[in-house]
Structure 1
Amino acid sequence: SKKTHAVKLRATIEKNCFTESIGKIKEHLEKGDIYQVNFTHQLVGDCCETPRSVFAKLIAAQPTRYGVFFETENFAICSASPELFFSLKDGDLEMRPMKGTCKRGRYLSEDARYKAELRSSEKDRAENLMILDMVRNDLGRICTPGSIKTSKLFDIQKLPTVWQQTSTVCGKTDASLAEVFSATFPCASVTGAPKIKSMEIISDLEKSARGVYTGTLGYVKPNREASFNVAIRTMVINKVSRRASYGVGGGIVWDSNAESEWEESLLKAKLLEFPTVSFELFETMRYDPQEGVYLLEEHLSRLRASSEYFGWPFEETIARNLLTNIKSDEALRVKLVLFLNGEFKMKTSSIPDFGGLVRLKFAKRPIDSKNIFLFHKTTHRKVYEEAKKGTKECDDVILFNEKNELTETTIANLYVEMCGKLVTPPLDCGLLPGAFRASMLSKRKASERVLYKEDLVSAKHIYIGNSLRGLQKAILCF
């Protein structure tokens, strides 16, 4: 899929140096000097695009209310921060510290599992609570006594590449903007507890200055109204040298694991690789004059799951009405498209003659099972189009992943008869959860099993299946 590789970044710290620093932080933790410290490092690279283009890609990859683009003659700051430092309006001061991160899943059930793991993580909750207490303490210096309230605790926020845990605290104040900054800056979520000692350790261990990273960017309006972000997910571009830097890091506590902290810090740069292609979701179905739309519930369920995963509006009643009000005396191919704004478009056409035996070949190259577009039926079909190139002597190709596990064909799920029973590759291998496949599994007409090329070579029967074609017999072409 298309990537946002405007900048190819590399770490400025070796992994073993990172691990060594975590060890030194743990020594401070053991002595009781600190309870937590936010340890960061810089990724750097050469920028081959304009700063405005980089900012546009960052925001496309991670839409946020707190994004900021700031440009001078010599440098530009592109911030796609999801974290509010503080907002001030009508004497109401709100802060929203962010602590606790885990990756997004590739499909809805996997995504929900990761979210649940973050929600139940004692480590992440403890970190979040520690930072929240510090923020409340900071606000206590400038807010009216008794006015400080925690309105949201351990809220899980969905971002394109990660789940993020956030808490919200607010209070009443008549402090000036300068006094607000004096009491709260830098944000507790990017320093540690206690703040002063943590900052001393950060100064000692971090190999390079953070610059604007973990600082703040925002605006001030008349009548004491202001909003500032915490400058994370932020790239600084030197316009003279074309050098770009991007800070990453995380909170280190006693039970932190150096390996997972290293991986989590790099995960936060993942939005720089997030696909920024535009696409729609769609379903292809079979309409029968007597029965209506075949596997209607399975199709709606998949469309509902994908729209929830991507955060798109989905009015199921409208979709259902469109599909249940088709009137025709002949069988039809029905395509229902869901757009980003929640609108639907439906198109019907005659069902083509699918012929007899389907001739299959193995694809030339593996697919990447981490590619989220494999798990959702979208109009972005590049992975399938690439796989079918130069395969005119067969009807379709069988895809396989980086572990050589078979997945599907470009238009259907794959089935193999083994010991008199049908088996199909598991979803985790990297494939579309077909509506026909869902029906076969729920009726126990097929079961899941990891398959390899040799399984197909020795198989008694091979089939492909989707809701338009049903189950079709297939053969391997060599």
Structure 2
Amino acid sequence: MDELSQKKVPFFFMIDFLVQKVEVFEESALDKNGLLIDFKSYTNANEPLIESREIHLKAFPESREIYRRGFDKVQREIRLGNSYLTNYTCKTEIEINLSLKEIFYLSKAKYKILYKDQFVCFSPETFVEIIDNEVFTHPMKGTIDASKENAIEVLKSDIKEKAEHYTVVDLLRNDLSMVADEVQVNEFQRIDFIKTKQKNLYAMSSEISGKLKPEFQNKIGSLMKTLLPAGSILGAPKPKTLEIILDAESYERGFYTGVCGWFDGENLDSCVMIRFIEKENEKLYFKSGGGITHLSNFADEHQEMKNKIYVPIH
């Protein structure tokens, strides 16, 4: 990735959650590898004539007992002071009357990725952007059902959601300072509306920026190696929280909560791979979760994990 970015060769990359699997594709190789991407900065997806139709999505979440087992492990570690925010996720079997390709074309999202017939991702969350050697990150943490009364005010004033958001903003501000100077928070607790067929959500984001240090300019690989795993889907402090996640979660995340991005030869746009459906042995699984803190309530967190099982088709 460093070599290609120094030569100013456009490429797309995907890095899994544990930063063990890295796939890099020059533009000419995207189609050959069965990869469709649709970013605001680049797309190789020509809209086929797929008729929108009534969506039937059925989820089969794991039992409350199984969820509680992992949740309690996370809470125990938080009480011991080993983590103050842990992003705990689950894998839920789903049934939907659409193929992965149809989900890709019909869904509305800031970032969309279809990898062969293996997974589709429709992510609302930017990881880092680089524009003229200025680097931006947009941590997204905190969601609420938009139909709730005074939902925005409730989300912004919720003690647990606020603590979670402050933690992630602080973590990513620190992360960004490893690769950039003059790091600052430009926008704090912005509220985005996410429209879906099942239910509409509000999500809370902030924007942090800095001037890329000379040693990271045109070195996309070195930049990613320094910043990953992404703080918003891991927690803090990062090394110990990663240990807790690997112990608490009963499956391997793979590319879910990893990052992918498009480098156009000058600038970079990348996203965190959340809102993720994967095919395994002809069954489909939706991977979702949320941040756990000492203020977390079991029922609320279990519900949030289920709320995030949606497709943004409307």
For 1:81 and 1:252, the matched residues in 2 are separated by 21
Q: CA RMSD in A?
A: 1.8
AA partner of residue 71 (structure 1) = Y
**Equivalent in the alignment of 1:204:** 247
For 2:78 and 2:113, the matched residues in 1 are separated by 37
Asked if the contact 2:122/2:274 (under 8 Å) is kept, the reply is yes
Where do residues 106-117 of structure 1 align in structure 2 (5 Å cutoff)?
110=149, 113-117=150-154
**Equivalent in the alignment of 1:9:** 59
> Residue 21 in 1 paired to residue 70 in 2?
yes
1:69 is displaced (CA, Å) by: 2.4
**Equivalent in the alignment of 1:159:** 194
CA offset digits 1:42-62 (Å, max 9, x no partner): 1123565332212233x2xxx
> Residue 170 in 1 paired to residue 209 in 2?
yes
Asked if the contact 2:173/2:183 (under 8 Å) is kept, the reply is yes
Specify which of 211, 235, 252 is matched with residue 277 of structure 2.
235
For 1:139 and 1:45, the matched residues in 2 are separated by 36
Asked if the contact 1:88/1:94 (under 8 Å) is kept, the reply is yes
1:275 is displaced (CA, Å) by: 6.7
For 1:141 and 1:222, the matched residues in 2 are separated by 23
Specify which of 62, 68, 81 is matched with residue 32 of structure 1.
81
Q: What is the count of residue pairs matched by the alignment?
A: 254
Asked if the contact 2:71/2:248 (under 8 Å) is kept, the reply is no
For 2:76 and 2:140, the matched residues in 1 are separated by 25
> Residue 183 in 1 paired to residue 229 in 2?
no
**Equivalent in the alignment of 1:288:** none
For 2:179 and 2:127, the matched residues in 1 are separated by 16
Asked if the contact 1:46/1:242 (under 8 Å) is kept, the reply is no
Q: What SS does structure 1 have at the residue aligned with 2:98?
A: coil
1:64 is displaced (CA, Å) by: 2.5
AA partner of residue 255 (structure 1) = L
1:80 is displaced (CA, Å) by: 1.4
AA partner of residue 79 (structure 2) = E
The percentage of counterpart residues that share the same residue type is 25
Unaligned stretches of 5+ residues in structure 1: 277-478
Higher-RCO chain (CA-CA 8 Å, sequence separation at least 6): 2
Where do residues 441-452 of structure 1 align in structure 2 (5 Å cutoff)?
none
CA offset digits 1:400-430 (Å, max 9, x no partner): xxxxxxxxxxxxxxxxxxxxxxxxxxxxxxx
Asked if the contact 2:129/2:268 (under 8 Å) is kept, the reply is yes
Asked if the contact 2:143/2:204 (under 8 Å) is kept, the reply is yes
Q: What SS does structure 1 have at the residue aligned with 2:242?
A: helix
Asked if the contact 1:47/1:242 (under 8 Å) is kept, the reply is no
1:172 is displaced (CA, Å) by: 0.9
**Equivalent in the alignment of 1:383:** none
Asked if the contact 1:48/1:242 (under 8 Å) is kept, the reply is no
Instruction: Give the alignment's TM-score, normalised by structure 2.
Output: 0.76
Asked if the contact 1:212/1:231 (under 8 Å) is kept, the reply is yes
**Equivalent in the alignment of 1:332:** none
AA partner of residue 52 (structure 1) = K
1:122 is displaced (CA, Å) by: 2.0
For 1:39 and 1:71, the matched residues in 2 are separated by 24
Compared CA separation, residues 163 and 46, structure 1 to 2 (3 A)? closer
Where do residues 231-270 of structure 1 align in structure 2 (5 Å cutoff)?
231-238=273-280, 241-269=281-309
Q: What SS does structure 2 have at the residue aligned with 1:217?
A: strand
For 1:275 and 1:141, the matched residues in 2 are separated by 38
AA partner of residue 109 (structure 2) = T
**Equivalent in the alignment of 1:470:** none
Specify which of 171, 180, 185 is matched with residue 143 of structure 1.
180
AA partner of residue 182 (structure 1) = K
Q: What SS does structure 2 have at the residue aligned with 1:9?
A: strand
For 1:36 and 1:164, the matched residues in 2 are separated by 18
> Residue 71 in 1 paired to residue 115 in 2?
yes
1:150 is displaced (CA, Å) by: 0.3
Instruction: Give the alignment's TM-score, normalised by structure 1.
Output: 0.51
Asked if the contact 1:68/1:218 (under 8 Å) is kept, the reply is no
AA partner of residue 188 (structure 1) = G
For 1:71 and 1:122, the matched residues in 2 are separated by 38
Specify which of 120, 136, 143 is matched with residue 157 of structure 2.
120
Q: What SS does structure 2 have at the residue aligned with 1:80?
A: strand
CA offset digits 1:266-288 (Å, max 9, x no partner): 0011x33x773xxxxxxxxxxxx
Where do residues 352-431 of structure 1 align in structure 2 (5 Å cutoff)?
none
AA partner of residue 204 (structure 2) = Q
